[in-house]
Amino acid sequence: MRQTIQLLLLVAFLLMACQVSAEVVDDTEDDVFHIDLFVVEETPESGETQAPSETLAISPVASPAPVQTPALPTATYRPSDNPQSEVGEDELLLSFVGDCSIGDTIKVIKRKNTMTGMIAENGPEWLFSTVSDIFHADDFTFANLESVLTDRMAPLYPAKVYNFLGPSSHREVIAASGIDGINTVNNHCTDFKYDGYKDTLANLEAIDVVHFGTLNPFRDTNSFKDLGRIEIKGVKIGITGYSYPDDKVFPCIEEDIRLLREEGCQIVIVSLHWGTEKKTVPDKKQFPYAKKVLDAGADVLWVHHPHVIQPVYFYDGKPIFFSTGNFVFSQIQAMDDSSGIFQLKWDIHTDGTVTLKQFEMIPTMVRHNREYRPLLLEDTKDKQRVWKRIIGSDKEGFVRLPDAFGETGKVLIDEDGTLRVP
């Protein structure tokens, strides 16, 4: 009887998705549904008007006017000059972290012991205060935003277990963090409908943070395409992002890489919200797809979504971060709390070319329950435990991190792709 009821509920849910002409049903945190690629279409029934959204009382800063933001004009690169960078002029250091839920679920957000409550109590600098010095000391820091920045309180699916949001004032948390670039496309980016997504983009623009991600690339409406373009120390860097990519979306990724290369990018990064939640190793099918992305001309493949870190591999001398895990997160279920800051360093040559020379991981722990800030690990055994988590097994055609990486957390990369522990 119970199985029959569950089956009927599932059928009813799928019928509702068809009525709104969805290309994708947004997945739950347990990965029950992955019907297609993107997020659910938001289409009010004919003749209905939507009630005004409730405003969060805790937000002292109003949302900027929501705007649909197209990709930056071709060959327009945002200069990035970090005055606090500790990196020499002949080197380039980029940092990558995983899922950052800078807020809470709508069900608990007004409670005092939430992340939102702690930010309100301690100020916007508090959440990333344990790691902001590291972010400010590099040349550029990338993160995945696993929540919406909006003052709207009407979720797309009220019955969904996890609808993540932070008030617009939480943009100041990002502004103080040292994070410079944000991936915005994932399975939570439209938790508060497309207006909520537009609010997120507008809030990031208000603090001059680069954002990137392609949403609904095969639609005529509610389609967003942002290619991140930055220039650091004369080096042009391009980044594109997608959620749940498959063979259908690969030509879009390939075209983005081609465009960025034609514009003169020396480094092209592909950001994918991808993989199986809570799984500590990549899916087998991800390896050939990663190979295709790097063969298409990408230099770095940066992945998030599984909520736990996964092994790092190299292909043709190019790094694949199969999962950078959670970094700051308000709702955390029983899963490994290992995390870290994934850093890549390039040499900048006198002729303007660049060569990848080093990968290093700074281990952290995801903290929650009245704290939420990432904990920098200091004990050698604790750090080595995390480093060993990202050493994978042998995979044909790919290079795993050497066992000695588990002792040092750093490898040097030779021009032929050989990895050496210093």
Determine what percent of the chain falls in helix, strand and coil, rounding each to the nearest 5. Answer: 20, 25, 50
Return d(Cα 344, Cα 323) in angstroms, integer.
15
For residue 3, the surrounding DSSP H or E stretch is: helix 2-19
Which two tokens mark 139? 């040349």
Which two tokens mark 101? 């839920």
What local confidence, expressed as pLDDT, does residue 1 receive? 53
The low-confidence residues of the chain, meaning pLDDT below 70, are: 1-75, 332-334
What local confidence, expressed as pLDDT, does residue 61 receive? 44
End-to-end CA distance of the chain: 62
Cα-based angle 168, 173, 178 (whole degrees, multiple of 5) = 135
Domains and their CATH numbers in the chain? 78-420 (3.60.21.10)
Q: What is the CA radius of gyration of the chain?
A: 21
Q: Which amino acid is at 10?
A: L
Measured CA distances, 301 to 26, 62, 241, 312, 421 (Å): 23, 35, 10, 10, 22
What local confidence, expressed as pLDDT, does residue 82 receive? 74
Q: At what angle do helices 250-262 and 286-295 cross, to 10 degrees?
A: 30
Return d(Cα 321, Cα 313) in angstroms, integer.
7
What local confidence, expressed as pLDDT, does residue 68 receive? 44
